[in-house]
Structure 1
Amino acid sequence: MFEFFHRWFGTGDIPRPKGRLPALLADYPPYPTPFPGYGQTLGLAECEENLRSFLSVREERLEIVGGLLREFGLDLRAGLAADDPRPFLASLDRWAREEWPAAWTTAFPRGYGAGLSSPKEGEHIVLAMLMDVAIAIGEIVVRKRPDYAWRLDLAGENSDMGSYRRVVVAKAPDGPGRSTIVLDYESVCIDTFDVIGRGSNYDVSGRRTTITSKVYVPPPHRGAPLGSMAKAALEGGDDPPDGYRSVLPPEEAPPEPPPGADGPHVYDKAEYHAHVLEHEYGFDPEEADEQAAVPTAFFFGWLASHSLLSRAHMKFARQEIAAYRERRVTAVELWSFFDRCLIDDMLSDEGNAFTHSYFQMGDEPGFYRDLADTLAKGLTSVNHVPYTFENQARMDAVVDRRYAQWWEKAQEDGTLLLPPWSRPTREARAGQVAAGARGIAVRTVCAWTVVAYLLTWAPVGPRLSGPAYAALCFGGAAVFLPLVFLLVRAFGTRGNKPRAAACAQSAALLAVGMLVYAWPAAAMLLDGRHGPQKGDGKFFVLGAALLAAGVWRAPKEARAGFWAGWPDRH
């Protein structure tokens, strides 16, 4: 019973997707590691013993994972022997995305490198499976590219990397001045499993996000296929031009994208900054992970509040964005819902155009310089700026000015070429802070009007007559006309059927409530009477109840969207 209430109120773990993998992992053999731990914390002799142990059990582990994959119709032996293993790698990726979410739990190791250093047994038996999948992917490369081999990553330039002194697939430098090519498939499998398993329901720290769904929701971004690094190695993607050793021809390139669409482009990820905070500024890993999201979260919050995310992402996270606009969650929490990534396919056409122009790092004119000038004076770096709603408001004001300047210049230069449905409304260009306040006022006034009429009708209504009585009835109903008009206008916008249905239901309730509320006055005029009659109070109570229901049914996003336009409009 307690678990039911936890799930109902969103405080407990969500039910995992159904699948056979958890049952199969119950009897999965542990992976033996003589010296578990993070590479930098182990001695070289201990790491070499881990490599010897790995090489001795490699074939056995391939048999184990091959048996598991056969349960799902995948033939590992055929994949290893195939002249072109890319179809097998694609099937392996599909299997991972379909089956892995069922095996993920909140007990999965958290934090930088925790999954790499945890024992691969017991409650973390899934790490043994991930290690075996990594062996299978690595073997595909090693068996077709003799210049690659299983070895320890002892490259000095990688001493601060998670792969250092761990077993990886690596290729020696091709010549003077060239780096060792390191393919850390275990790390890739662990990270992919965590992203797929968390979905959109948990952030990188394993905490529930603000998403209200009580079922598993896949992550908003697909990410790179599981075997993409192996595919690149087989196609010679990591080889220098003068040492090209491809064993497979590159797959046919996809069709040329339309003008202005160059494919996915990553503007920023929080993980890019976590390493800097930890190793250059001395943050502990957990603190570095949390603080790394703050700078770009300021900009992401501004984008979301100005409806510059793509229509699909605005719809996908409409409740989380509404919570942010109402300051119930921070921009950092909102960005965590999007896996703390800022990628071009997350943004609208206009959002991409502005972000491409303005979101610059370092000392170049742009967002990070504005952040440094506005909030980072006296601090070590922009990465040390704390997140507060006051700081968010200060940055919002700065970005508003930059956006207005960019918009005017783009219009003058004719460089902003958007499809007609992507062009923002005048209200959206002017910003939504004041608009949100007006939206709150509309709904609040309507709600308090219902309360006021319920409290005053009993002592005041029966004593009125003639024009005063008619004014009470028609005036009380007319208060809701603006809200009905706004709901009807919002109903006509594209891209969100649930919200459109809520608008229609709310408008219908309000319209019926207005008719019922005004009926006593209309009946008085039609009958030629000069005042109320017995029983009119029932119409007022019923009308007020319908009006209250209409106000309650109005979407919450109305607080920020009625006057500025709905998020999915552009």
Structure 2
Amino acid sequence: MPTLVQAIFGRGQAKLKRLLKDYPPYQAPHSQEPFSLTIEQAYANLNYLIAEKANRLVIYGELLRKFGLDLDEGLHNASPEAFLRDLHAWAYKHWPEVYEPHLARKDIWLNSKRDGDHIVFSMLMDTAIALGEIVVKHRPRTYWGLDLSNSSWRLRYVSYQRPVLLGVPDPYQNNAFMALDFENTAFFHYSNILATPQPAQPLGVKVLYALREEETLTQDPAGLFGRRA
């Protein structure tokens, strides 16, 4: 019996669901909630990302090409805005095909090995890597690291001890930098993919603000993604 989401989108449109059956998993060595990781385990996960990110971009790029998107346009064009608009539109058209309510739980995501029935989390991680690498290509002083800030520990942020993009100036504090958790961003959009209205911030908005350091992270710059009701 098909699920409600499958019935809505129909068998002929479930292209992403079919493709993810053979999607190579992102196999970080330690899959558990960040506050239960040792610092050695956290760095092992970071080192895995750094070692594998080039290969994951190839895997993700091949997936996107099957839908007419070119990841190189985001990575290498002078401006990634058009690609980010297309990526957001693609996600909101096709991610509902692979949405499962139990996978929208944060504890399931954080403890997942990102394979088998959880393979969608590998696609979300690759989305995160792509978003982060777009920033790195345009702002070479940014880099992948761990969020080890006292504030993230104190406030129990899920970014704590997880790979995030560092080196982006914080628009709210002088001489401070942000930790951009793009995997959490991708998970947020997946978990809200059927929400009405859609989340106010588009999938790639933090990329644009990382590239426009003088802006804040609270608005859609110049209406790049259009108005939302």
CA contact (8 A) 1:116 1:187 kept: no
Give the one of 69, 75, 91 matched to 2:86: 91
Q: In 1, distance between residues paired with 2:126 and 2:148?
A: 22
CA deviation digits over 1:462-510, x for unaligned, max 9? xxxxxxxxxxxxxxxxxxxxxxxxxxxxxxxxxxxxxxxxxxxxxxxxx
SS, match of residue 4 in structure 2 = coil
Matches within 5 A, 1:255-266: none
Partner residue, 2:184: 187
CA offset at residue 147 of structure 1? 2.7
Give the one of 231, 234, 237 matched to 2:208: 231
Change beyond 3 A, Cα 1:192–1:252: closer
CA offset at residue 143 of structure 1? 1.2
Q: In 2, distance between residues paired with 1:123 and 1:34?
A: 18
Q: In 2, distance between residues paired with 1:172 and 1:86?
A: 18
Matches within 5 A, 1:6-45: 13-16=3-6, 17=9, 18-45=13-40
Partner AA of 1:230 in structure 2? V
Q: Is 1:70 equivalent to 2:65 in the alignment?
A: yes
Partner residue, 1:156: 150
Partner AA of 2:152 in structure 1? N
SS, match of residue 168 in structure 1 = strand
CA deviation digits over 1:294-334, x for unaligned, max 9? xxxxxxxxxxxxxxxxxxxxxxxxxxxxxxxxxxxxxxxxx
Q: In 2, distance between residues paired with 1:173 and 1:73?
A: 34
Partner AA of 2:129 in structure 1? I
Q: In 1, distance between residues paired with 2:223 and 2:73?
A: 26
CA offset at residue 178 of structure 1? 4.6
Partner AA of 1:14 in structure 2? L
Moved over 6 A (4+): none
Percent identical pairs in the alignment equals 35
Change beyond 3 A, Cα 1:251–1:158: closer
The answer to which of 180-189 and 60-69 deviates more is 180-189
Query: Structure 2: 5+ residue runs without aligned partners?
Result: none
Q: Is 1:79 equivalent to 2:91 in the alignment?
A: no
CA contact (8 A) 2:192 2:198 kept: no
CA offset at residue 191 of structure 1? 1.1
CA deviation digits over 1:400-438, x for unaligned, max 9? xxxxxxxxxxxxxxxxxxxxxxxxxxxxxxxxxxxxxxx
Change beyond 3 A, Cα 1:69–1:41: same
Q: In 2, distance between residues paired with 1:237 and 1:162?
A: 26
State the aligned residue count: 215
Q: In 2, distance between residues paired with 1:51 and 1:119?
A: 15
CA offset at residue 109 of structure 1? 4.7
CA contact (8 A) 2:192 2:199 kept: no
CA contact (8 A) 1:103 1:126 kept: yes
CA offset at residue 113 of structure 1? 4.3
Change beyond 3 A, Cα 1:47–1:253: closer
SS, match of residue 101 in structure 2 = coil
CA offset at residue 28 of structure 1? 0.2
Give the one of 142, 146, 149 matched to 2:140: 146
SS, match of residue 57 in structure 2 = helix
Q: In 1, distance between residues paired with 2:91 and 2:59?
A: 17
CA offset at residue 177 of structure 1? 6.6
Q: In 2, distance between residues paired with 1:69 and 1:108?
A: 22
Higher RCO structure (Cα 8 Å, ≥6 apart): 2
Structure 2 length normalisation: TM-score?
A: 0.85
SS, match of residue 26 in structure 1 = helix
CA contact (8 A) 2:115 2:122 kept: yes
CA contact (8 A) 2:104 2:190 kept: no
Structure 1 length normalisation: TM-score?
A: 0.36
Partner AA of 1:234 in structure 2? L
Q: Is 1:137 equivalent to 2:127 in the alignment?
A: no
CA offset at residue 221 of structure 1? 3.3
CA contact (8 A) 1:36 1:118 kept: yes
Q: In 1, distance between residues paired with 2:51 and 2:147?
A: 18
- RMSD over aligned CA atoms reads 2.4
CA contact (8 A) 1:113 1:162 kept: no
CA offset at residue 180 of structure 1? 3.1
Q: In 1, distance between residues paired with 2:108 and 2:214?
A: 30
CA contact (8 A) 2:5 2:96 kept: no
CA contact (8 A) 2:17 2:97 kept: yes
Q: Is 1:116 equivalent to 2:110 in the alignment?
A: yes
SS, match of residue 22 in structure 2 = coil
CA offset at residue 15 of structure 1? 4.0
